[in-house]
């Protein structure tokens, strides 16, 4: 019998680690990517769209529809993208930009597409959100029943220990749009799974693994090696930072942790289940994820926060993502 595939929409601010996560989904034989929705974050949304198109072209999956979404946060002007992955999200190494890229993007807005696809396939589609959560917050504002039509939601974002990578106490994806993160974790009552900053960093892989991953004899690996080549975030020497002090040294492909949990139920080996809330008011903690272990928030909905993973299994999914048949 044919394997029943998991259907997924990927909501992304496509930087280098997003590209790795998307390739992981494309390589998984049990996954059908029904659409990719773009949001600002690692780069302006126009660059995000182009990055997604390039990944799909490399992997010969150009039939997957790509939708342009929010270019700014739910409230206010928001923060400018960082140069963590270069100004374009792909390490600023791309020279041959596609002048016709806009023709390849669907005319339908990402939020409208998200609502339509999920409504047409209720309880069948998972949503893996690996960027700021603006598109998701807009979706629930346009259709309050949207979350209950989802099968489940996987998020890469948030931090719970006060160690941030965007500000003193906040993780990048939540910091870029704290109000949207708040809305999503208050109003999405579907099964929700979070790969936090701590989870990603505490389950890092060795830099020797990174070298082996990038040096595989496959076009996809050559592509990833190119876009990481000039990016300080993928430099073993440059990454001797506070992250190493708190979490230990290693290679971390942040968004791939959320994607791997969606693909393989056995990747996550330990998790916490409890209500959560996103802090909006704190001058130092805005965007931080608060865990309610004592039910003081009196919320009926709990989420699952990952804490430990099967690193060998995760590493194999990464390896497979760059072995898939691709074109140069």
- HSE, side-chain direction, 13 A CA sphere, residue 65: 15
Check residue 328 and give its pLDDT: 35
Per-residue model confidence as pLDDT tens digits over 178-193: 999 999 999 999 999 9
Check residue 254 and give its pLDDT: 95
Angstrom distance (rounded) from CA 206 to CA 285: 30
Residue 323 has pLDDT above 50, yes or no: yes
Domain boundaries, given as residue ranges, for the chain: 6-321
Q: Whole-number mean pLDDT of the chain?
A: 91
Check residue 327 and give its pLDDT: 41
* CATH entry, 6-321, from 3.20.20.120, 3.40.190.10, 3.90.245.10, 3.40.50.880: 3.90.245.10
Reading the block at residue 84, the tokens are: 């963590």
Beta bridge partners of 170: 167
| First-to-final CA distance of the chain | 34
CB–CB of 38/68 below 8 Å? yes
CB–CB of 296/303 below 8 Å? no
Per-residue model confidence as pLDDT tens digits over 128-160: 999 999 999 999 999 999 999 999 999 999 999
Check residue 80 and give its pLDDT: 61
Check residue 111 and give its pLDDT: 98
Check residue 248 and give its pLDDT: 72
User: By three-state DSSP, how is residue 185 classified?
Assistant: helix
Residue 1 has pLDDT above 70, yes or no: no
Per-residue model confidence as pLDDT tens digits over 198-252: 999 999 999 999 999 999 999 999 999 999 987 767 776 655 555 555 677 789 9
Per-residue model confidence as pLDDT tens digits over 268-284: 999 999 999 999 998 89
- Region 93-116 average pLDDT: 92
- Region 96-112 average pLDDT: 93
74-78, 162-166, 302-306 — which is least confidently predicted?
Answer: 74-78
Q: Which of 39, 241, 4 lies closest to 137 in space, CA to CA?
A: 39
Residue with the larger pLDDT of the pair 33 and 92 = 33
Q: Give percent of the chain above pLDDT 70.
A: 91
Reading the block at residue 189, the tokens are: 């009552």
Check residue 257 and give its pLDDT: 98
């Amino acid at each position: 019998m044919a394997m029943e595939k998991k259907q997924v929409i990927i909501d992304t601010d496509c930087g280098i680690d997003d590209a790795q996560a998307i390739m992981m989904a494309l390589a998984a034989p049990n996954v059908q990517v029904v659409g990719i929705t773009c949001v600002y974050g690692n780069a302006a949304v126009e660059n995000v769209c182009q990055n997604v198109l390039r990944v799909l072209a490399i992997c010969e999956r150009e039939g997957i529809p790509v939708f342009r979404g929010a270019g700014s946060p739910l409230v206010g002007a928001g923060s400018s993208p960082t140069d963590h992955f270069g100004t374009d999200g792909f390490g600023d190494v791309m020279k041959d930009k596609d002048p016709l890229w806009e023709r390849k993007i669907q005319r339908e807005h990402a939020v409208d597409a998200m609502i339509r696809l999920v409504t047409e396939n209720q309880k069948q589609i998972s949503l893996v959100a690996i960027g700021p959560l603006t598109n998701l917050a807009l979706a629930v504002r346009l259709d309050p029943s949207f979350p209950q039509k989802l099968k489940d939601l996987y998020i890469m974002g948030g931090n719970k220990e006060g160690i941030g990578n965007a500000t003193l106490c906040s993780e990048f994806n939540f910091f870029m749009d704290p109000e949207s993160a708040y809305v999503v974790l208050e109003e999405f009552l579907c099964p929700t799974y979070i790969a936090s900053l701590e989870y990603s960093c505490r389950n890092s892989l060795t830099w020797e693994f990174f070298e082996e991953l990038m040096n595989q004899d496959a076009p996809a690996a050559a592509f990833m090696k190119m876009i990481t080549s000039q990016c300080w975030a993928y430099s073993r020497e440059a990454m001797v930072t506070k992250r190493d002090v708190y979490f230990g040294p290693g290679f971390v492909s942040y968004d791939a942790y959320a994607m791997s949990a969606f693909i393989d139920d056995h990747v996550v080996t330990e998790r916490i289940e409890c209500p959560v809330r996103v802090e909006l008011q704190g001058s130092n903690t805005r965007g931080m994820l608060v865990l309610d272990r004592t039910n003081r928030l009196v919320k009926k909905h709990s989420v699952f926060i990952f804490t430990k993973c099967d690193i060998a299994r995760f590493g194999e999914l990464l390896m497979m993502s760059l072995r898939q048949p691709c074109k140069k």
